[in-house]
Structure 1
Amino acid sequence: MRAGAIAWQLAQTFWVGGLWLLHFVVLPALDRIGLASMLVEEVAASLRPLLVAFAGFCALLQAVLLIQYAGLAQLWRDTRAQLLTAVLALVVVFLLVRFRMPEALYWLNFSYLLLAFCGLLLVIQPLPASSVESRAR
């Protein structure tokens, strides 16, 4: 059980932290040091889809861990499962819009920020291992 909780936290740290770090730290820092705005946009356009795809992979890993801990019967009542479902749907929407309509920048930014917000809501949820242990007591 301990390895699953560590894997949950590590995956969550990588994808949620990566999304927030890119949008609120790296891109503004590149803009602030004086890089051309087109270069900053090009960096964002190349890194965001990779980071969103990585977020989808990590969310799938978290979903597998959640199914392992909670089981399928209790899964849909769990807030973490609902957030992970929303995250996976947002990843699919972001990638589809990115490759089908790359000029839809507002929709891409909206889905990216909504993905980051869902990740933030997932961070404040308890670990699956701790909620299983508290129900067993």
Structure 2
Amino acid sequence: MTSSAQRPILRGGRVAWQLTQTLWVGAIWVTHFILLPALGKMGLAPLLIDEIAGFMRPLMVGFAGVCALLQLLVIGAALGRGCWRDLRTQLLLLVVVTVAVVFALTRVAGTEYLQLFGYLVVAFAGLVLILQPRPDEG
């Protein structure tokens, strides 16, 4: 393969990386720190807000897990076998494992505080991931 044949692959990976990262990290932060508090300020009943949060948080966590898996594929293609030592890969693995634990807790225990903790772990791992350079930059 020539370098011109590899460029579209890298550009597609760059676009996929930025798009998925923007979507899942933005969705997690907007849902928890903007949408749900705004519903409270509008005067909605706390039980209704809890019901909306109970629906939206697992949806956002699942979406974050799918996007993190896609980002793992992109970083694996960009860095090859050395990707396991990279902080971005470790953060994405943290997100995937946390998503799995959150869904396991939902099925087994249904504990709201541990689910919220997992949600915040995903949110802050995404925030740290945003501060890292793209795989094609580093």
TM-score of the pair, normalised by structure 1: 0.92
CA distance in 1, matches of 2:42, 2:107: 30
Quote the offset at 1:101 in angstroms.
1.4
Residue aligning to 1:124: 131
Amino acid at match of 2:107: F
CA distance in 2, matches of 1:7, 1:76: 20
Aligned residues: 129
Cα-Cα RMSD: 0.7
Which residue of 21, 28, 48 corresponds with 2:30? Answer: 21
* Structure 2 SS opposite 1:128: coil
* Structure 2 SS opposite 1:19: helix
Quote the offset at 1:99 in angstroms.
1.9
Residue aligning to 1:65: 74
Unaligned runs of 5+ in 1: 132-137
Which residue of 3, 6, 16 corresponds with 2:15? Answer: 6
Matches within 5 A, 1:1-137: 1-72=10-81, 74-102=82-110, 104-131=111-138
CA distance in 2, matches of 1:21, 1:95: 21
Residue aligning to 1:134: none
CA distance in 2, matches of 1:61, 1:31: 34
Quote the offset at 1:75 in angstroms.
1.4
Q: 4+ runs of 1 displaced by more than 3 Å? A: none
- Percent identity reads 46
CA distance in 2, matches of 1:18, 1:86: 18
Amino acid at match of 1:84: L
Amino acid at match of 1:83: L
CA distance in 1, matches of 2:56, 2:107: 14
CA distance in 2, matches of 1:98, 1:11: 25
Unaligned runs of 5+ in 2: 1-9
